[in-house]
Homo-oligomer: A and B are copies of this chain.
Amino acid sequence: MAEKRTKVKKPTMVDVAAKAGVTIGTVSHVINKTAPISDETTERVLAAIKELGYKPNSIARALRTKKSYVIGFLLPDVTNDFYSPVLSSFIDSAYQDGYTVLVVSYQYSSKREEIEMERLADKNVDGILLFNGCDDLALLQRMRAEGMPIVIADRRVDELDLPTVEFDNVATVSKVIGMMCKKGYKRIGFLSESTRLRNLNDRYEGYKKGLMENGLSVNPELVYISEDMEMNNLEKGYSYIKRILENTDKENLPDSIFATTDLLAIGAVRAFKEAGFRIPEEIGVVGFDNISFTDFIEPKLTTVEQDKTLMGRIAWDIMKSTLAGENKKTQHVILPQKIIVRESC
């Protein structure tokens, strides 16, 4: 009567054991099916559990077993259209297997990324999914040495032989360039933000490879890489192309553009249209990502689709097998991308 607002304390195994007239060992065994218990007592224990509303304490269990069923997911930015679907699908997949995920974003700061890696390890997660990042090989190496399972998404780490999932950017982009060549474009431009990020750099490699394979050489005049990393590329693609249009003689202009993101491509399309160019007749444009707007602009954007849901699922699969210690060989999964041909090229 007086204990109204005292924080209700939850029943423990001891309570269950008492109520069922057995010992906690037996209770544990019926819960975990870790020893043969007679139907009769099993039933009594189950009844007691139900009656008391008993739930095993996951912390105590984790302390004992050294497994928390929590995975850390470290990514540059939760808000990003590319990362968040992967995260979402990873969470869902992990959920199916009874795991839950601690999400941490490092806002593109390697400093912070490093700190967060440590924090995750200190939180005793069972494994860490590292999404596109970590220049700090030493840290990765140390964590691995300490036995922390790590899997990397959207980035190769050639130096360290960690399990990875990534898209096949080089191959896909070179295929895109091949397609553009087949359509008759000869002066294919490359529009991108800084290629410091591995996957963007891979797209650049694919661009060069594609040109080579089609007997074209890389013309530095046609490589438009802007070093600043800020987003809202929509505006940036627009103003960038506009500037080029103003400062370049007609004969030195590209006859087509491969942009590393749809936002950039959409901005470019607008700039070209404003300047009176007809797309795709006079200028071909290809984007990357297949965001919903690509199907909506005029002309509809030719682009590349990446199955982010698949990446999240595969990332989890790899994590799971890594946790299970089935490491015959380190897994490296390379996911294909899909070229979506619409109207702009």
A positions within 8 Å CB-CB of B: 7-8, 10, 55-60, 62-63, 68, 70, 77-79, 84-85, 87-88, 91-92, 95, 100-105, 107, 119-124, 145-147, 232, 234-235, 238, 263, 266-267, 270, 292-293, 295-296
Contacts and interface: CB of A to CB of B under 8 A. Distances in A.
A105 B92 contact: yes
A88 B77 contact: yes
A138 to B, nearest CB: 14
Nearest to A115: B95
Nearest to A98: B119
Q: How many copies of the polypeptide does the oligomer hold? A: 2
A29 to B, nearest CB: 20
A235 B119 CA distance: 43
A292 B122 contact: no
Contacts of A105: 88, 91-92
A210 to B, nearest CB: 29
18 contacts: A7-B147, A55-B121, A58-B122, A70-B123, A78-B88, A88-B105, A91-B104, A92-B105, A92-B107, A100-B102, A100-B120, A101-B102, A102-B102, A103-B103, A234-B293, A235-B295, A235-B296, A238-B296
Contacts of A70: 102, 123
Contacts of A235: 292, 295-296
Nearest to A296: B234
B63 A60 contact: yes
B57 A124 contact: yes
B123 A58 contact: yes
Given A55-B122, A95-B104, A79 B84 contact: yes
B84 A10 contact: no
Nearest to A7: B147
